[in-house]
Structures are given as C-alpha cells and as structure tokens.
Structure 1
Amino acid sequence: MSRSGFAGVDVGGGGVRVRIEAGGANAYGDDAAPVPRDKGRVDLDRLAARIAAVIEKATQPPDRRGGGGREGEFAVPERLAGMAIGVTGLPGLVKDPGTLWHALRERFGLGALVVAGDMVTTHVGALGFRPGVVVAAGTGVITLGTDLAGVWNQADGWGHLLGDHGSGAWVGMQGLHAALRAHDGRAGGSPALLERMTARFGHPLDLVALVYESGSAANHLASFAPSVAEAARAGDPVARRIWAEAGRQLGEAAVAAASGLEPVFSWGGRLFDAADLLMEPFQDTVRALLPGAQFAPPLGTSADGALALARAAADGAVQPHHPYLYVFTADRSRTGAGTGA
C-alpha cells in the first residue's frame, strides 16, 4: 500500500502557507509573494504552480529544502489522500475552482480536494468544526458565521475599495490619510504617522505612484498597519483611535454574522497580532451588541483548518456548499451543489 498524506494550504494576502501531514509527523513551508492575479481575479494556473512548488520544497530533505521545517520523523508521502486549499477571493474572485483540481490531481495523486474561501479554513482552524462566528482579518477581512451545514452568514469581505472595514489595508489606509493630512497642514493629521510614512515610502508623490501603479494597492496599504500600531503604542492619539475604530468595525461585522447561531466568537489572521490594540474594542463591541457572547481563543490557523478539512475530505465527510466550499474527488467531482459540510 502506498504511503499517503494530507496537505492543508492557506492562500491569503501574506502569500501561500502549507502544512503536510504524513505518518503522524508534519512538514510546513511558505511563499510570501503576493497571490497571482489576472485582471483582478486569482490566477489559478499560476497559483497551482506556486502551491506545488511550496509543497515539493517542504517535502525535500532538510539540506535541500531551503526553508520551511518539520515536526517529528517526517516521511515523504507517495500521494496525498486529501488536500484542502483556503483561497482569498473565494467567493467573488475565483472563476473556476476546478482548475486547481485538474492542475494538482495527477501531480500529487490526490484522492480528494477541497477548495474553499480562506474564511472557511480560518473558521475550521479557529473553532474546529464547532458552529460559531470567526473574524478572519489580515490584509483584508471577512467574517463568517456558520454551522458548516445550513447556516452560512458572511459579513464584509468586499475588498479594500468597497469594504474590508477594520482590516490591515483599512488600518494602513486610515494611517496614511492621517499622515497626508499632517503633510498638508489639514486638521486631523498625525505628525507621528507622517514621520513613519516618510521613513517607509519617501515623499507622498512616491507613495501615490506606488499605490496607484503597482496593481497590489491593498498589500501596500496593509504594509503600513504595523507602523500605525507602533505609533499607537507610542501614545499617538490618532493612531490609537484608528485601532479602536478597527476593533469596533470588526465587532459589528461579527455580530451581523451571528444570526441563527450560538453566540460563540473567535478570530484568525495576522491583524490580530496587534491584540493589545484590537482585542479590547473588538470584544467590547460584541458584548455591547450581544450580551452573553462567548469568546473562544483560536485553536489553530487557517492552514490548520485546511489540514483538518483535507483529512475529513479523504474520509468523505465534507460536503460542498456553493459558493464557499467545493469538493472534488477521484471518482466524482462536485462543484458546490447541495448543502452541508
């Protein structure tokens, strides 16, 4: 019998992160390059190549791996019985999830593939398979309240131009607004943020060219969020207000997604690394709007959630739910019809 394993893949604003499990041991790897896009949509052909490269690098011997790591006595699997990929932009910016199945099936001997929005893998990573609400906040933000069966409530996740309120891109953008107001001498500006903006991006005209010409504006905006956090911790009142408002926005989205569910709330994504600035206003907003709310610290990451979905899919225990979760198997492809997971 061939030696099989499982792979969980998290594709977000911070790049591609992979966890591979085989024989009770784990390997992991990542690629921090931006998600490949074509006219705004996720370029699935290029993404498949990126995912394959990260998996193959993670399973190389240590002297050839050049990154990543291992936990336990990892033996490279001959095939992957299950793989799950949590993709930013699904739903909305992923045209045909089956592209990933066709690109990766033979390469890894896949038995089953789950392609889901990264908010689904973040939800499973944070709460296991427990019903509740999870706020997934990084470069963007999307909130999902689900029981992975009949209730699927999405709040926000509309991208940095139409929404993503409280996200890393939103925090960075608000910080840059305040910096530019200070540069102009307008009310509401922050000299502390102007100083940090100049140190990071140079003259405002350099910033304008970078943001408007690069094709990855959200990533550039989000890259300034750590500077806004630094200024807030140094006592800048404008920066502190930005983070407090971010927490309020995330709390409102969480409550909006809780309809029909037990009021259990968790979170995921790198924005919550700013816990001292974000967590209190987030939780205070939820409690004010929904007394009796319970908070459950996340059990794991989006990559952990993807790995759990990969194991479940290999056992036939994951059902598709359009447009958030698709399942493909070697004997039958399912593209979102039906309910439940």
Structure 2
Amino acid sequence: MSLPASADVPADASAGVHADVHAGVDVGGGGIRVRIEGDGVSAHGEDPAPVPRERGRVDLHRLAARIAAVIEDTGPGVDRLAGMAIGVTGLPGLVSEPGTLWNALGDRFGLGALVVAGDMVTTHVGALGFRPGVVVAAGTGVITLGTDLDGVWNQADGWGHLLGDHGSGAWVGAQGLQAALRAHDGRMGGSPALLERMTARFGHPLDLVALVYQSGSPAHHLASFAPSVAEAAREGDAVARRIWTEAGRQLAQTAVAAAAGLEPVFSWGGRLFDAADLLMEPFQSTVRALLPDARFTPPLGTSADGALALAEAAASVRPRHPYLYVFTRTDAPSAQPLRRTH
C-alpha cells in the first residue's frame, strides 16, 4: 500500500489551532512515548509508567487521560491537532473498544482523524516505512507482524508473558530471575552473578515474589531485570549469555513464521534490541539458517515514528480490523459502529 506523506485536513483559523500538526503515540509495556510534528512544532514526550489495566485489559479511559497529559506537556500551546495515531500494546486481544479513544480525544484536540492500531503496526511502519516485510516488535512483550499492508497480515506471538512472548524483555527477565533463584536454592543451573544482581535490585527472594505476584503488571517487573541479565552476560556469565542467545533464536523463529507469503525482508523495533550484540547475532543467524535468502534492513525509525507517519497519512489509511481502526468526523463510533473483518 502506497500512502501519501500527509493527510489532507482543512485548516482551522481559530486561535490556538495548528491545522498541520500531527501527533504519533506509542503505547507499550515501557510506557507512553509521543512525537508531535508540523507547523513549526517538533517535540517529543514520554510517560514511563506501565500501561493502565483493568482485569487484564488495557484501561482505555485512564490511558486516554495520560495520553492527553503527555501531549499537553510536550507541545504547550498546541491544543488542536489535524490528526493523531496511537499504537497500543494489546491490540488485538486486550483492547475491546478502540472507539473509546476517539470519544475521549477527538473533541479534546479537535481531531480530523484518529488511527488506532496495534503497536506491531506502528512498529512495522516505523521500521519499513509502508513497505512489505516482517518486523519483530520486542520490548516488555514481543509481537511480530508480516504484512504488505494490503492482503497479507501475519501475526506471530504476542500472546502475553504467561502464554507466549518468547524472547521478549519479560521472558529474558524471567529466565534471569529463575537462574538467580536456582543459585539461591543451590539447585543446578543457577547463576551467582544473577543472584547478586537480583538481590541488589529486589532484595530478598520473598520480596521479589510479593512484588511480582501481587502486581497488576508482572511483565513490567520481569522485564525490568533484562538489563541486569545483559550486564551479567557482557561480564562473562555463561548462564546469562545463554539466555540472550536463546532469546535471539526465539525471536527468529517467530519472525520466520510471520514471513509466509512475503518477500523475506526483516527488520525490528523495540527497546529489547538495545541489547544489540547479545541479541542480533543469534537472531539473524537463526533466520538465515531457516531462510537462506533472508534480507535484513535496519529500522528507519521507532514505533512513535510509525504512529506519526500513520497520523499524517490518516486520510488515506484503510482500516484493517482487528489490527487497524480509523475514526473521522463523519465516522464516529456512535454513528457508524465498526465491525471486525478477517
């Protein structure tokens, strides 16, 4: 799908209106990141707190309030926007009514259009710029999308830290903490280096157990240990290095599964890939072992960049439920309910 660089939204001459300003919002396990661009405005903002949840689902009412606060703090004086796109973790699956975001933010910012997509879509657009291919989005969780943004939409993993997310930050952190607890118990397969780091970060193992099992966002706490696993690996801990090698292999297997029906072009996004040397070699070598003609392209940008591109192109974006929703002034959820298509 070839999309134009910006949406055609009529200018509004009233005070405080910036008709050519767009906002891209990335909502992931690591918090909310915002990019605002246009009409002389260029700003970035962030809210690092975990995504609000209610009974496991993303709480869109609280999320909308936090998004609005970040935008208002990031772009003072920008109270109206031509368009906005939000890439949300948990879509599809844990976001039941994406129109809630339109109801909460449409009038507040005078939006001409709002795109609500899974963060795998915004990561894909950020990495490949509307080109076909496979993008692994790996942060606290992991979800992979292979798509041509037209007829092929292959999702692999994204099943959450209890059922999937293999190779994700939460997976790496959990593997590291399990190795630390093995060392604490004196069981085989433990890592004293990881035990030392676990104790420094969380205290006694019982404190860790209380934190994780009583938390509304256990994956966030598990993923917070991934940098410690990377540190131990770089300092020579064999257990930690094996964890990162296996993470790369898991991500590679997921990527190959999502490549069906597409040219084997692969890219990536998400903060887990900050581990670079620990992750990239096993990831790419495993993909090449499974698909010898695989090609890798470094990401053009981030998920927030992809969200901004979708906001600018909102007038030409076609919905693809349940991965991608588009709301406009003439297509409000109350007037024209969206129906899932497969």
Kept after mapping to 1: 8 A contact 2:72/2:78: no
Structure-2 change in CA distance of 1:39 and 1:332 (3 Å): same
In 1, Cα distance between the equivalents of 2:198 and 2:22?
Answer: 43
Provide the residue aligned with 2:43 in structure 1: 27
SS at match of 1:121: helix
Matches within 5 A, 1:95-244: 95-244=96-245
* Residues 1:15 and 2:23 are matched in the alignment: no
In 2, Cα distance between the equivalents of 1:165 and 1:279?
Answer: 15
Kept after mapping to 1: 8 A contact 2:322/2:341: no
Kept after mapping to 2: 8 A contact 1:321/1:336: no
How far apart are 1:24 and its partner, in Å? 5.0
Kept after mapping to 2: 8 A contact 1:122/1:303: yes
* Residues 1:253 and 2:269 are matched in the alignment: no
Kept after mapping to 2: 8 A contact 1:141/1:164: yes
Provide the residue aligned with 2:4 in structure 1: none
Percent identity over the alignment is: 81
SS at match of 1:90: coil
SS at match of 1:218: helix
Kept after mapping to 2: 8 A contact 1:320/1:336: no
In 2, Cα distance between the equivalents of 1:254 and 1:50?
Answer: 32
In 2, Cα distance between the equivalents of 1:167 and 1:291?
Answer: 24
SS at match of 2:236: coil
Deviations 1:11-41 (A, max 9, x none): 0011111111122541111111111111110
Taking structure 2 as the reference length, the TM-score comes to: 0.92
In 2, Cα distance between the equivalents of 1:284 and 1:336?
Answer: 41
Following TM superposition, the consecutive aligned residue runs of length 4 or more in structure 1 with deviations greater than 4 angstroms are: 336-339
In 1, Cα distance between the equivalents of 2:70 and 2:253?
Answer: 36
Number of equivalent positions: 322
In 2, Cα distance between the equivalents of 1:78 and 1:156?
Answer: 38
In 2, Cα distance between the equivalents of 1:46 and 1:178?
Answer: 36
* Residues 1:46 and 2:45 are matched in the alignment: no
Deviations 1:194-223 (A, max 9, x none): 111111111111110011011211011001
Q: 2:259 is matched by which residue type in structure 1?
A: A
How far apart are 1:94 and its partner, in Å? 0.4
Kept after mapping to 1: 8 A contact 2:158/2:165: yes
Q: 1:39 is matched by which residue type in structure 2?
A: R
Deviates more, 1:327-336 or 1:43-52: 327-336
Deviations 1:86-135 (A, max 9, x none): 00000000010000001001100000000000000000000000000000
Structure-2 change in CA distance of 1:32 and 1:78 (3 Å): closer
In 1, Cα distance between the equivalents of 2:152 and 2:45?
Answer: 33
Structure 1 runs not aligned, ≥5 long? 61-75
Question: How well do the aligned residues superpose, as a CA RMSD in angstroms?
Answer: 1.2
Provide the residue aligned with 1:71 in structure 2: none
SS at match of 1:211: helix
Kept after mapping to 1: 8 A contact 2:51/2:63: yes
In 2, Cα distance between the equivalents of 1:30 and 1:166?
Answer: 25
SS at match of 1:79: coil
Q: 1:7 is matched by which residue type in structure 2?
A: A
How far apart are 1:281 and its partner, in Å? 0.2
Structure 2 runs not aligned, ≥5 long? 1-11
* Residues 1:263 and 2:279 are matched in the alignment: no
In 2, Cα distance between the equivalents of 1:16 and 1:295?
Answer: 28
